[in-house]
Chains A and B, each alone.
Chain A
Amino acid sequence: MPIEQFKLEELIKNKFPNANILVEDLAGDNNHYSVSIESSAFNGLSRIQQHQLVYKSLDGLMDNELHAMQLKTKGTK
């Protein structure tokens, strides 16, 4: 079940309140997004841990619902 872009943005925003977030719709089908998140929540975490934190916060949305999400994460210096 795809998700509208504003809903995905909202979901990420309330999980990563002080982050700057960029969500791009890659295919116009509400199912393929590129998401980049820069947040202090990632400071000190490895890349895998950063992505796991994002996937955990989008629980249930990944793979079965949201087919494809390219993810780029970064801590804040």
Chain B
Amino acid sequence: MELDENTKTQIENMIGENEVFLFMKGNPDFPMCGFSSVASAILKKCGVNFGHCNVLDDEKIREGIKSFSNWPTIPQLYIKKEFVGGCDIMKEMAESGELIELLNTRGIETQIS
């Protein structure tokens, strides 16, 4: 599915205005999919502030984000506008400590709870 200019701008604004941003199904308090739930829980555990978008609210964003990052699934994590990965990669990075390291090297405050 081609990514139209308007959707692309919307996505760029979201990841531009939030140092850490998660495209997910549902929201952190009411995740609507297991993978999105794990992804938001990982960020909460890092004690990092993050923006989020419920892709179920907007089909254009839900499909557009996949072509934007060339990644076929949701959730998708962005740190300082850079695509970091989906749930699997977030889990691997969280377990190895790489996620905290990446956040800190990008100057983002974390508070492990």
Tell me the A residues contacting B by CB distance below 8 Å: 47-48, 51-52, 55, 62-63, 68, 70-72
Mark B44-80 against chain A: 1 for CB-CB distance below 8 A, else 0.
0000000000000000000000100011110000000
Interface segment, one of B6-14, B16-24, B82-90, B104-112: B82-90
Measured CA separation A62–B73 after assembly (Å)? 8
B85's partner among A47, A63, A68, A72 (CB-CB below 8 A) is: A47
In the complex, the answer to whether B89 meets A62 with C-beta atoms within 8 Å is no
Q: A52-B71, A55-B71 are in contact. Are A71 and B88 (CB under 8 A)?
A: yes
A52's partner among B70, B84, B88, B92 (CB-CB below 8 A) is: B70
Chain A binding surface SS class = mixed
In the complex, the answer to whether B72 meets A55 with C-beta atoms within 8 Å is yes
In the complex, the answer to whether A51 meets B35 with C-beta atoms within 8 Å is no
Tell me the B residues contacting A by CB distance below 8 Å: 34-35, 66, 70-73, 83-86, 88-89, 92
Measured CA separation A70–B34 after assembly (Å)? 12
Query: Can you pick out 8 interface pairs between chain A and chain B where the beta carbons lie within 8 Å of each other?
Result: A48-B89, A51-B71, A51-B88, A51-B89, A52-B71, A55-B72, A62-B72, A71-B88
Q: A47-B85, A48-B85 are in contact. Are A72 and B92 (CB under 8 A)?
A: yes
Q: Which residues of B contact A71 (CB under 8 A)?
A: 88
Q: A54 → chain B, closest Cβ, in Å?
A: 10
Q: Which residues of A contact B34 (CB under 8 A)?
A: 68
Apart from A62-B72, A62-B73, A63-B72, what 13 extra A-B contacts exist at CB < 8 Å? A47-B85, A47-B89, A47-B92, A48-B71, A48-B83, A48-B84, A48-B85, A48-B89, A51-B88, A52-B70, A55-B72, A63-B73, A68-B35
Q: Which residues of B contact A47 (CB under 8 A)?
A: 85, 89, 92
